[in-house]
């Protein structure tokens, strides 16, 4: 197999799709449904073309090309990282055995479920972000939004390929369902809570790409370890694209904080609402919200399902091969968050296998810290004493040990009444949201930018900020 994509095919791919006519036909019949979904549920802002990155190769160098592309003609394709013929299972009871090129019968339904859950998040985020183009702060940001959108569309393709290629009729039905469920829908919502929340403004978008896309990065990281080799190779390549989404979130919040700091200095006040910038307190509230709903995505502190996935080799840990243990964990333990018998926030010891969700969530949390550090550096360099911070793990949780209690961002346990009274200081209120939305006036002029956000330090692919990233209609 070569790593170069075949672009002569209707569906660009590096999996020699033409050698399997049945599969090719099945995917070609799914393709028009995907395009209908893109047209009806994808970006609403009409555009002529967008300066987009398209994956053309999975190799280390030169894996993508850049150019102006009409979005409906984007070449969504199927790309798997190159196969390592010597790859062996890295963990669990099959550790050391050759990886699987096919789905073992006994793990079929579990693998299908994992792929469906991952697959469901990809189109969900496109749906959540569909109206943002109308209020983009610059053509540069507009282009980044669309880049994220087309790549999430490609990630859907990646999961649909696996379903079609390895899971027979049931897989094909699941692939259809991925287009039928919709974010926020009453009748058939997306599977996970955070993917049914709105992304109504660009501050939410940057928080989403920072916190929620980062959850995706960690989920993909565990699936990249899978003994089911096609899943592993698919996720490895998706992670490469995902890095850009993280960059959009990280630098997006950088730029919001930067601009706020400038306006605070200019007017010598913290109260920049009304001055066209977003107050630090509002940024903190948005951060609190997006971080806490993203923590929920990792599931309960303990899970026997996840323990079984690990033992079976379906889903590993983040950076499994860097862990210095036996990669089987049958006799290890871990402290996980829990409520004590008298209902207090605490920790309890469980077997390491059962606590794998906690392990992954902790990896994620320490990664999230790096962004906060970087935004605080901007505040520090501006000579300000205010700081942003991640709220306590028990804050605003709907899943896991702390779902039934209320806690402040500092981890102080609160009675329901007190929470009612004080939560408006910690989560975006209608007033905050209305204010942020009022700032979302589109700037679609080349080289211009909205007043609530600083321009980026660098453009895309070496192009300047004032490049014509998007041609509108």
Task: Decide whether 198 or 468 has the Cβ nearer to Fe ion.
Answer: 198
Distance in Å, CB of 106 to Fe ion, minimum? 29
Cβ atoms within 10 Å of 325's Cβ, excluding its own: 11
| Burial of 114 from C-beta contacts in 10 A (0-12 / 13-18 / 19+) | buried
Task: Decide whether 247 or 414 has the Cβ nearer to Fe ion.
Answer: 247
Distance in Å, CB of 122 to Fe ion, minimum? 5
Q: With b meaning 16 or more CB within 10 Å and e meaning fewer, what string describes 207-219?
A: bbbbbbbbbbbbb
**In whole angstroms, what is the distance from residue 414 CA to residue 420 CA?**
10
Q: Which residues pair with 185 in a beta bridge?
A: none
**In whole angstroms, what is the distance from residue 282 CA to residue 175 CA?**
39
Task: Decide whether 122 or 174 has the Cβ nearer to Fe ion.
Answer: 122
Distance in Å, CB of 365 to Fe ion, minimum? 19
Contact 222, 319 (CB under 8 A): no
| Burial of 188 from C-beta contacts in 10 A (0-12 / 13-18 / 19+) | exposed
Task: Decide whether 47 or 121 has the Cβ nearer to Fe ion.
Answer: 121
Task: Decide whether 143 or 245 has the Cβ nearer to Fe ion.
Answer: 245
**In whole angstroms, what is the distance from residue 252 CA to residue 259 CA?**
11
3-state helix, strand, coil in the chain (%, to 5): 50, 10, 40
Distance in Å, CB of 143 to Fe ion, minimum? 16
Distance in Å, CB of 144 to Fe ion, minimum? 12
Distance in Å, CB of 358 to Fe ion, minimum? 24
Task: Decide whether 164 or 245 has the Cβ nearer to Fe ion.
Answer: 245
Handedness of CA 255, 256, 261, 263 (dihedral sign): positive
Residues 6+ apart with CB under 8 A from 443: 136, 137, 138, 449, 450
Task: Decide whether 24 or 183 has the Cβ nearer to Fe ion.
Answer: 183
Cα distances (Å, whole numbers) of residue 357 to 182, 386, 402, 457, 464: 26, 33, 15, 36, 42
**In whole angstroms, what is the distance from residue 229 CA to residue 98 CA?**
10
Task: Decide whether 167 or 211 has the Cβ nearer to Fe ion.
Answer: 211
Q: Phi and psi of 238, rounded to 5°?
A: -60, -35
Task: Decide whether 235 or 257 has the Cβ nearer to Fe ion.
Answer: 235
Task: Decide whether 214 or 255 has the Cβ nearer to Fe ion.
Answer: 214
Query: Going by DSSP bridges, is the β-strand pair 406-407/413-414 parallel, antiparallel, or unpaired?
Result: antiparallel
Distance in Å, CB of 364 to Fe ion, minimum? 14
| Side-chain-facing half-sphere of 325: CA atoms under 13 Å | 15
Residues contributing to the site for Fe ion (CB under 5 A): 122, 152, 155, 213, 242, 245
Task: Decide whether 242 or 337 has the Cβ nearer to Fe ion.
Answer: 242
**Shortest CA distance to 231 belongs to which of 321, 310, 316, 162?**
162
Contact 72, 31 (CB under 8 A): no
H, E, C per residue of 374-411:
HHHHHHHHCCCCCCCCCCCCCCCCCCCCCCCCEECCCC
């Amino acid at each position: 197999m070569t790593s170069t994509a075949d672009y002569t095919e209707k569906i660009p791919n590096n999996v020699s799709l033409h050698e399997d006519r049945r599969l090719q036909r099945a995917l070609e019949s799914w393709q028009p449904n995907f395009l209908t979904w893109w047209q009806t549920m994808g970006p609403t802002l009409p555009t002529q073309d967008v300066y987009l990155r398209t994956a053309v190769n999975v190799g280390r160098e030169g894996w993508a090309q850049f150019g102006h592309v009409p979005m409906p003609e984007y070449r969504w394709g199927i790309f798997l990282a190159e196969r390592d013929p010597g790859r062996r299972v890295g963990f669990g009871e099959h550790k050391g055995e050759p990886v699987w090129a096919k789905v073992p019968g006994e793990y079929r339904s579990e693998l299908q479920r994992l792929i469906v859950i991952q697959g469901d998040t990809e189109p969900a985020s496109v749906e959540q972000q569909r109206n943002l183009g109308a209020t983009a702060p610059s053509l540069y940001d507009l282009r980044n939004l669309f880049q994220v959108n087309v790549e999430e569309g490609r990630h859907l393709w990646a999961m649909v390929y696996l379903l079609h290629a390895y899971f027979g009729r049931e897989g094909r039905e699941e692939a259809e369902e991925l287009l039928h469920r919709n974010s926020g829908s009453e009748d058939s919502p997306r599977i996970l809570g955070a993917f049914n929340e709105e992304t109504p403004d660009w501050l939410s978008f940057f928080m989403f790409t920072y916190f929620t896309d980062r959850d995706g990065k960690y989920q993909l990281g565990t699936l990249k370890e899978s003994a089911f080799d096609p899943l592993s190779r698919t996720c490895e390549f998706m992670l490469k694209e995902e890095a850009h989404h993280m960059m959009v979130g990280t630098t997006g919040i950088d730029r919001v904080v930067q601009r706020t700091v400038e306006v605070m200095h200019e007017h010598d006040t913290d109260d920049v609402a009304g001055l066209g910038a977003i107050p630090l307190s509002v940024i903190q509230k948005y951060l609190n919200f997006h971080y806490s709903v993203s923590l929920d995505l990792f599931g309960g502190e303990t899970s026997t399902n996840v323990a079984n996935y690990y033992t079976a080799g379906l889903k590993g840990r983040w950076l499994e091969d860097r862990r210095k243990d036996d990669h089987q964990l049958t006799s290890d333990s871990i402290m996980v968050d829990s409520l004590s018998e008298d209902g207090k926030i605490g920790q309890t010891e469980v077997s390491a296998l059962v606590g794998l969700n906690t392990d992954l969530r902790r990896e994620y949390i320490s990664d999230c810290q790096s962004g906060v550090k970087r935004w605080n550096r901007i505040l520090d360099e501006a000579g300000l004493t205010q700081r942003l911070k991640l709220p306590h793990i028990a804050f605003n949780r709907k899943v896991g040990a702390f779902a039934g209690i209320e806690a402040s961002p500092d981890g102080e346990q609160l009675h329901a009444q007190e929470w009612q009274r004080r939560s408006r200081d910690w989560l975006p209120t209608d007033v905050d949201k209305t204010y942020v939305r009022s700032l979302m006036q589109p700037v679609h002029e080349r080289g211009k930018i909205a007043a609530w956000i600083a321009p980026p330090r660098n453009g895309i692919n070496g192009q300047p900020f004032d490049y014509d990233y998007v041609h509108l209609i």
